[in-house]
Amino acid sequence: MKTLRFLLLFTAAITLTACGTSHNYTNNSLNKNFYAEKSIYFKLNPKSQNQINFTGMYGTVLGGVMQPNVKETFQLSLNELASETNIKLSFIENSEEITDKNAVVFDTDISEINWHFGFSVATLKTVVNYKNINNSKEIQTTGIRKSGGGDEKNNLKKSLKDATYNFLKEYEK
């Protein structure tokens, strides 16, 4: 019986730790020359999704859901990504805040925030549309955060950071 309990706990621990995706972009493959002189600003569209939708085997075992502030979480994800990639990324409330005439500004619309709970893995997916205010070109990306659970704000931050990193990869092409 002790062996069975040990195996069950060991399997659960491995499953929970092995299912998380890493979101540290310190060693990234972004084109450093492309971003060297650029300042990129992101303005969150007021029509953006502002709540996480839950699907799958979702339950409230330890209490209710703490819906994070999406705007604040997006700003945190940008700050973290800027720090890890050494690219000048900034969150702005409105375009009048910008004094740099060479700045690139993107209207950012988060169209989807879904957290699906499977048997052992929870996947938080964000779909984000980045529209260049200067030329109206649009790039849509998806951010994924797989985990064994965790708190809503941290998983959302990592998913949004992944979406923005994927955007940067597309933008440099």
**What's the confidence (pLDDT) of residue 137?**
95
pLDDT at 64 > cutoff 70: no
- In 3D space, the residue among 114, 110, 120, 116 whose CA is nearest the CA of residue 20 turns out to be 120
Largest CA distance in the chain: 70
Name beta bridge partners: 161: none
Single pTM value for the model? 0.83
pLDDT at 61 > cutoff 80: no
pLDDT at 3 > cutoff 70: no
Contact 161, 141 (CB under 8 A): no
pLDDT at 153 > cutoff 80: yes
- The pLDDT tens digits for 49-58 are 999 888 877 6
- The pLDDT tens digits for 7-28 are 444 444 444 444 444 567 777 7
- In 3D space, the residue among 146, 88, 155, 90 whose CA is nearest the CA of residue 120 turns out to be 146
